[in-house]
Amino acid sequence: MSSGPSHVLVLSQVEGSANVVPAWREFIGPADIEEARREKPESLRAQYGTQTLFNAVHGSEDIDQASRELAFFFPNFRTASVTEQDGEEERVERTLALIRPDIARENREKILAQIHESGFTLALQREVMLTEEQVRQFYFQHVEEDYFPALLRSMTSGPVLALALARTGAVQHWKNILGPSDVNKAKEESPECLRAQFAVENEPINQLHGSASHKEAEREINFFFPKQQTLAVIKPDAMEEHRERILEEISGSGFSVTQLKEMVLSREMAEEFYKEHREKPFFSQLVEFMCRGPCMMLILTKENAVEEWRAMMGPTDPEQAKATCPNSLRARFASDILQNSVHGSSNEQHAEEKISFIFGDISSDCRDHRKRYQWYRD
């Protein structure tokens, strides 16, 4: 599954037709290729599969699995009704979960396992050190409460693990699993809940956070996982042979390409683009390389776009990339440090500057967005 790009599709049923999940599974045929060829010779797997492991296509087994898989690949996707309870529609939604520093160090894997067992898809994840100002901003409604000093101390004592969890009824389901916010009450009334299980001795603050409502979930997810823009460049060495593959993988990784253009950099433009490297011994060679053929410039938009694009590229040195991030773009497509296929901004401010340089001035909304979330910068 990691050997090349996959095409991930959202299929919906035509009104009045059969349920889309069993209809698609009928269309693709049995997972076992020999069984498919024997019993469903017209199915996709019979026609295009080569063996059980390489059976060409995948399909969700049921509505619940479909919801989890949709949330995994398309975290912002909103389905129509997927289940009905008491006549009310349920939708795939997201909620924010925080694992506070005191238990994040030792118990994160246990908690993540319980999250998975509870039917959640982990749509987004990041670990972040919060300042006092950031905690006050996030918990602005609690600043005047008696317990806030303890909460502030807890939240700034180490890295916080922030998670965006997705499933049907995610907000309420996560609240149910967490249990009461008061630790003593959680232990007495719901000893199996997460807050009771992972309470810290002599610590009055519970160790896990969950969004209180759908509205709060979106605000809190946006706080920890803001939409960002970053500049991506497909360099001359990758343009001819790897461009389409890289573009497919960009799309498949959930980035939106806001703007795109192909251009040949003049020497003056290349020197200005890489001006921060002007005093480096490789500067002249880098400029010459970047001017030798067309580049593709892209503005990519996604939650955590800067960090995620840098992770997707891998280390600057392809040899290091092969050793530490073998599935990264540079590990697979780069030939050396100079001809390393792709470029990405190092932080959000750098991204804004380079986007403005290549595409012209960005909107005031983008500038305001960057200021609001400046604490995410490297």
**Any idea which residues carry the catalytic annotation?**
343
End-to-end Cα, the chain, rounded Å: 32
What count of other Cβ atoms lies within 10 Å of the Cβ of residue 353?
A: 15
In angstroms, the CA 327 to CA 253 distance is 13
* 164: β partners: 96, 124
* 85: β partners: 88
Coil vs helix vs strand at 329:
helix
In angstroms, the CA 181 to CA 45 distance is 50
* 165: β partners: 95, 122
Question: Where does residue 238 rank: exposed (0-12), middle (13-18), buried (19+ CB within 10 A)?
Answer: buried
Q: What is the DSSP code (8-state) at residue 217?
A: H
* 155: β partners: none
Structure tokens at 231: 């500049």
Structure tokens at 261: 């253009």
In angstroms, the CA 287 to CA 152 distance is 48
* 89: β partners: 84
What count of other Cβ atoms lies within 10 Å of the Cβ of residue 131?
A: 11
What sign for the dihedral angle of Cα 55, 56, 61, 67? positive
Structure tokens at 332: 């697979």
